[in-house]
Amino acid sequence: DAMVIQNPRYQVTQFGKPVTLSCSQTLNHNVMYWYQQKSSQAPKLLFHYYDKDFNNEADTPDNFQSRRPNTSFCFLDIRSPGLGDAAMYLCATSRAGPRTGELFFGEGSRLTVL
């Protein structure tokens, strides 16, 4: 089945130790997103790619970086995680065009920072 796969599902890291989360998709969608969701809060968009065009949200901290080496893969790098970065990180994809807002989410990567 076509899907969005995130790895790892659970990541424990130490304060300041870099982390990379990955996302792959078999849907062949143009647009890929990274959202951060903390407990009982709305998903917050960090950045998105339209094909190779990278779009960073104005309030996304510099500590967060992303790479999209090809259509299928996208990575989220957290260079120096702080306690406040503990959250669920959600990768999502969508088709470009009129139905772009119909997002397909991966199962998420839950990050714990010790």
Partner 1 sequence: QKEVEQNSGPLSVPEGAIASLNCTYSDRGSQSFFWYRQYSGKSPELIMFIYSNGDKEDGRFTAQLNKASQYVSLLIRDSQPSDSATYLCAVDSGGSNYKLTFGKGTLLTVNP
- Closer residue to partner 1, CB minimum distance, 78 or 90: 90
Instruction: Show the CA angle centred on residue 47, arms to residues 33 and 31, nearest 5°.
Output: 35
- Closer residue to partner 1, CB minimum distance, 75 or 105: 105
Q: Which residue has the tokens 């969005």?
A: 4
Piece of 18-26, 64-72, 77-85, 103-111 that binds partner 1 (CB under 8 A)? 103-111
Query: Residues 32-71 vs partner 1: string with x where CB under 8 A?
Result: --------xxxxxx--x-x----x----------------
Contact partners, residue 111, CB within 8 Å, separation at least 6? 11, 12, 13, 19, 21, 78, 81, 85, 86, 87, 88, 89
**86 near partner 1 (CB under 8 A):** no
Query: Residues 1-30 vs partner 1: string with x where CB under 8 A?
Result: ------------------------------
Binding residue for partner 1, selected from 78, 106, 111, 113, defined by CB under 8 A: 106
Q: What letter represents residue 24's amino acid?
A: S
CA distance 41 to 105: 17
